[in-house]
Every structure is written in C-alpha cells, then in structure tokens.
Structure 1
Amino acid sequence: MDAGKYVDTFELTRTGLEVSGQTSLLHCERLTEDLPEQDDSPVSWSLRGEKDSFGRSYLHLRVKACPMLECQRCLAPFAWPIDAENRLQMVNTEAGLEDDAVLVEGQPEDFIERIVGSPRLDVLALVEDEIILSLPYVPKHDVCPSVSPLIVQHDESDTDAGRPSPFAVLSQLKKN
C-alpha cells in the first residue's frame, strides 16, 4: 500500500496493512522552529494497523530520525538519534479517549495512548508528534567535547589554606 500524507485508520486496522514512507526533517516545522539549524536528514516512518481478539484497534508507529539539538551545558549542537516505537489504541470518539471501560479484565494495566480514528489521518503530523515526544527535556552530551581543561584539573596552588572558613562566624553565633 503506497502512503501519501493521509491514511484511513479504520481501513488500516481492519486490513492489518502497513504503510511507510520517508520525509525530510525540514518538513517538520513545529519540531524545527525551536531547534538549531537542521540539515536535510531523512525521517523514516511506518504505521501498521491491527485488531486484537477483543476487537480493539491499534496502530503501531515506528519513527527514525536524527535532529540536531543544542547541548544545555556547552551550547554546542549535537545529533540526537531517535528510533521510537509506539502502540496507539484507536477509539471511535473523543469520549473514548478518557473511557476506562476500554480496558479488559485480565489485561495488563499499562498506559496505552489513544487517538481518535479518522478516515483521513495526517500521518506526517503523527510522525512529527512522536519525534517531539522523543526529545529530551534538557538536551546535553554525556560528556561535552569542549570542556575546558582548567575546569577538569584542580590546581593545588589555588587553595585558600590561610583563609578562615566563611562559616566560622556561624560557629561563634552558636556558642552565644
């Protein structure tokens, strides 16, 4: 099945088919508006429908992307690889998003995200949402490449062995 920008989620879950595609990271405007300048790296995605034995509909979304983020320690840009998979339960109405009756006895009570099914779901918006949700709240390198050697090395000549502690005054107050 060749995917355009829109899919019929009811048909996709009924038939169990999979659609996939690729787009440029530059087409994800909501994602890139607050990020450093992005290159034209690809975003690969796939969306597969399924129905379980209880008749519930699910969409399996997989997204691969590598946006550039800005490290909050050193302020240098770095690539953040994303390989996200998500299982979304499809419901028929907005009221079904909050309905706890959708859970079935004996099933694990893991949190499953729900979306409202549509004959015209914007797949690229769903993909962009998944990338946004996969970004770290505070992006940073594990080890910043530009850490100054002055910060890492401790020079013994800089110690203030002769100066009294600023907290020595507090000990005098405690004695009174």
Structure 2
Amino acid sequence: MSPNVPEQLDAWRMVAARRRFDGSLPLSAMRRLEGSLVDTEGEVNYSLEFGRDDVLQVSYVELHVETALPLECQRSLARFLLPVKITQRLGLVRSEDEEAALPQDYEALLVPEDGMLKPADLIEDELVLAVPVVPMAPGTEAVESEWAATTEELDKVNPFAELARLKKQ
C-alpha cells in the first residue's frame, strides 16, 4: 500500500471529510487474485474518492483502478497482459435493507459496524471480478478443425454392434 494510504479507513469520517487517496499496490500483495494470475509481476494504480451525492444524499466511495493483469491465454497457453481500467461507485450501506434504496449506477458496499474499510480489499475485490472466466489473448483465433478417424479406429469392433445383432435374433 502506498505510504499515504492507511491500511484501514473509517468510511464515515472519510465521507464527511470528502477525502481522496491515490496510490499503487503490488500485484504480489493480492492473495485472492494471485490464483488467477500467471505471475504477480506488476502493480495496480488506484484512487479512492469518498463523498456524498448532493442530490440523493448517498454516501459513496468511488474507485478508479488501472493495471495490466498477467494471465494465461486458454487458446495458446501463452502469457499475456490484460489491460484493466475500472471506475466503480460503491454506495456505502449499513444494512442490506438500505441496498434497495441505492440508485441504479451504484453497487452496494456493506460497511461493518465499526465503519472501518480496508482499501486494499476493495481494490482486490474489483480486480477479482475483472478476471475473465476464460482468458484469451486478443488476436488469437479459435482452432476449428475436424479430425478424421484413423484406420485403426475405423477397424475397431463396435461393442454395441454385437448387442444390435443379438436384439434382431
């Protein structure tokens, strides 16, 4: 975590003060994301901006995350960098009941009772969601081919053919 960002922040105090934090994190610090990556070389640049919507009076934290995730292409099995640029506004809620009242462009973030949030966890959550289910490097093409049966496979006796012959008798 960058030296100017604490490991934990009081969400409600940050909203009241309308604080903004900018920094970077190494990919190697993200344990939950690590399993989806080929390696952990690189870093994540981010900004966190706390505020309150003037019209709707919704407390929020807005995340801006930018990085390149090292993934393995499932077509070529080669390492490639997936550019990721995320902007996400998270509406801060105290209970799940408040979630329904959030505007459509907000994602809910349930704040613990003590009000403390870990910025690194928020950033890692967004990156985990950004990893594709089946990573494929841009420009790789699907291999579509029909594989002809070999003579050995064609000459092999079909075990169900004998059952079909017995059934006819």
TM more than 0.5: yes
Once residues 11 and 67 of structure 2 are traced to their aligned partners in structure 1, the CA distance between those partners, rounded to angstroms, is: 23
State the Cα distance separating 1:111 from its structure 2 match. 4.7
Q: What is the one-letter code of the residue matched to 1:54?
A: L
Q: Deviations over 1:95-117 (max 9, x none)?
A: 323xx2x15xxxxx635210123
Which residue of 39, 64, 79 maps to 1:77?
A: 79
- TM-score using structure 2 length: 0.73
Is 1:32 the counterpart of 2:34? The answer is yes
Match of 1:138 among 121, 126, 134: 134
CA 1:4–1:73: 2 relative to 1, 3 Å: same
What residue is the counterpart of 1:114 in the other structure?
108
> In angstroms, what is the RMSD of aligned CA positions?
2.2
Question: In structure 2, how many angstroms separate the alpha carbons of the residues matched to 1:83 and 1:142?
Answer: 16
TM-superposed CA distance for 1:34, in Å, is 3.2
Match of 1:51 in 2: 52
Contact 1:10 1:117 in 2 (8 A): no
Distance (Å, rounded) in 2 between the aligned partners of 1:3 and 1:113: 23
Cα distance in 2 between the residues matched to 1:35 and 1:114: 27
How far apart, in 2, do the equivalents of 1:54 and 1:76 lie?
A: 47
What letter matches 1:135 in structure 2?
A: V
Residue equivalent to 1:42: 43
CA distance in 2, matches of 1:17, 1:29: 27
Structure 1 unpaired stretches of 5+: 104-108, 153-176
Shift of 1:62: 0.8
Q: Which runs of 5+ in 2 are unaligned?
A: 145-169
CA distance in 1, matches of 2:93, 2:39: 37
Counterparts of residues 87-166 of structure 1 (less than 5 Å): 87-97=89-99, 100=100, 102-103=101-102, 110-118=104-112, 119-144=115-140
Paired residue total: 138
Q: Distance in 2 between matches of 1:10 and 1:42?
A: 28
SS of alignment partner, residue 51 of structure 2: strand
**Identical aligned residues as a percent:** 28
Q: What letter matches 2:17 in structure 1?
A: T
Matched letter for residue 75 of structure 1: L
Contact kept? 2:8, 2:117, Cα under 8 Å: yes
SS at structure 2 position matched to 1:47: strand
